[in-house]
Chains A and B, each alone.
Chain A
């Protein structure tokens, strides 16, 4: 059976036989960096194409269909175009911050990759405070956005960045509380333990209605955190041209664009890990035969399948719902999502203490 775990152990054993431990570790680091960058580039290409195709289907259109079979190479062509474009820096911009901002946004996305378990025992860093790490790092991306908006020396950019700040600070709360419900149920912040706790059923099934509510709130909150429609007030092309990245062009713009999609991937991966069992196959109670068949599907396929399902749901949101106004956005968070998720957390705590979950 195909498994990424076998490949990583084989590579590690070979490296430790060939080289001394320090060098082997260094080479492993380089391999991990290369893999992460490759994953980023690949995800950028795939997700942008997926978004355009999903959007087209939802709007009864065909979408890109000229470059390559079924428009498969459209995003490759777009990327080539963006690489060759001139990266313009406005005259009165704060040059250092302006050029730094896209890399900060990108770096935050890369840091978030560390604790995600892509398959069974295939994880860069199984840190024991994984969930806390994720919520801590993901709120850093707002610094990059604020930096971009401020350094552009453009009123639209600044407004977009400020809105983005208000939005991320607000929605971080309900996303955090939704994550906490799972932490309460599992009793651990470590990603691998959270997944192991879902051996006999995913939390969304085991945790009764509170888990479902937490899942819905989590999806809403992360949609807002990644600045996607219907919460794309930071960009709001009808009001702010393009918001915080109005002044960016060429590859620097592409980095923002890429970071948006990488962030979607990461939050969906976290959602899949917490609520849908990560790489854990679908197991139903005592159906031994069914469970065995499900075990034959590689864990990486399970993880990617769940993640892409959530990505699809978020895209579905984007192409269905109209954008909120800034006051409606804050109303939704502070008057609806936060009280509901607080109550929900209380309910989950009761369930966890009394052991009502399966």
Chain B
């Protein structure tokens, strides 16, 4: 009984090790499996994972319009004060006052890419993009204003 256990121990050990060696041997013989991105050389064809989060941006359409209502949900959701929403009041043709953003200030140097602001946004005005070449010589260059100059809110977004 003991001997049977002993032999099965040896057998299981050897087969499981061989299984591992088969996997690594397969990788050794198949260079196509290599996943290394040769980054500075392949800048043009660089493929990043879809889930990679590098920076918050506010997409604008061709009429220079965005979807931000200035509700400050992102500012409230941000755990470390990365986003500051500066609001103003636009006067509509009917003479009504309407809240809008003056500037959505985004501190990239504080951002942890936690994605909470994007989740919190009720009108999908901001999103994460996979850019990552953020190094600059001056820290103040990392403070960005996300809405473009003279942009306004898209029609029909409340």
Q: Which residues of A contact B (CB under 8 A)?
A: 54, 57-62, 65, 316-317, 319-321, 336, 340
CB neighbours (8 Å) of B9 from chain A are 336
CB neighbours (8 Å) of A321 from chain B are 17, 20
CB neighbours (8 Å) of B27 from chain A are 57-60
Within 15-68 of B, Cβ neighbours of A (below 8 Å) are at 17, 20-21, 23-25, 27-28, 31, 33-36, 38
Assembled-state Cα–Cα distance A340/B34 (Å)? 39
Assembled-state Cα–Cα distance A321/B13 (Å)? 12
Contact present for B28 and A57 (CB under 8 Å): yes
**Contact A61 B34, CB 8 Å, known A316-B28, A336-B10:** yes
B24 partner, pick from A61, A62, A65, A316, beta carbons under 8 A: A316
Contact present for B17 and A54 (CB under 8 Å): no
CB neighbours (8 Å) of B21 from chain A are 316-317, 320
Assembled-state Cα–Cα distance A196/B17 (Å)? 34
Q: Main SS of the interface on chain B?
A: helix
- Residue pairs across A and B with Cβ atoms less than 8 A apart, 22 shown, are A54-B28, A57-B27, A57-B31, A57-B34, A58-B27, A58-B28, A60-B27, A60-B33, A60-B34, A60-B36, A61-B34, A65-B38, A316-B25, A316-B28, A319-B24, A320-B17, A320-B20, A320-B23, A320-B24, A321-B17, A321-B20, A336-B10
**Contact A60 B35, CB 8 Å, known A54-B28, A316-B25:** yes
Assembled-state Cα–Cα distance A288/B147 (Å)? 83
Assembled-state Cα–Cα distance A340/B10 (Å)? 10
Q: Which residues of B contact A (CB under 8 A)?
A: 9-10, 17, 20-21, 23-25, 27-28, 31, 33-36, 38
A62 partner, pick from B23, B28, B38, beta carbons under 8 A: B38
Contact present for A61 and B36 (CB under 8 Å): yes
Besides A54-B28, A60-B34, A336-B10, 10 new A-B residue pairs in contact (Cβ under 8 A), listed by A number:
A57-B28, A57-B31, A57-B34, A58-B27, A58-B28, A61-B36, A62-B36, A65-B38, A319-B24, A321-B20
Assembled-state Cα–Cα distance A164/B24 (Å)? 28
CB neighbours (8 Å) of A316 from chain B are 21, 24-25, 28
Assembled-state Cα–Cα distance A54/B31 (Å)? 11
Look across to chain B and name the residue whose beta carbon is closest to the beta carbon of A339. B6
Assembled-state Cα–Cα distance A224/B17 (Å)? 16
Look across to chain B and name the residue whose beta carbon is closest to the beta carbon of A340. B10
Assembled-state Cα–Cα distance A58/B31 (Å)? 9
Look across to chain B and name the residue whose beta carbon is closest to the beta carbon of A332. B13
Assembled-state Cα–Cα distance A14/B10 (Å)? 58
Tell me how far the C-beta of B89 lies from the nearest C-beta in chain A, rounded to whole angstroms.
56
Assembled-state Cα–Cα distance A350/B23 (Å)? 38
CB neighbours (8 Å) of B31 from chain A are 57
CB neighbours (8 Å) of B17 from chain A are 320-321
CB neighbours (8 Å) of B34 from chain A are 57, 60-62
Give me the 8 closest cross-chain CB pairs, A-B, nearest first. Answer: A320-B24, A62-B36, A58-B24, A57-B28, A320-B20, A60-B33, A320-B21, A61-B36
Look across to chain A and name the residue whose beta carbon is closest to the beta carbon of B23. A320
Look across to chain B and name the residue whose beta carbon is closest to the beta carbon of A216. B14
Look across to chain B and name the residue whose beta carbon is closest to the beta carbon of A53. B28
CB neighbours (8 Å) of A340 from chain B are 10
CB neighbours (8 Å) of A62 from chain B are 34, 36, 38
CB neighbours (8 Å) of A320 from chain B are 17, 20-21, 23-24
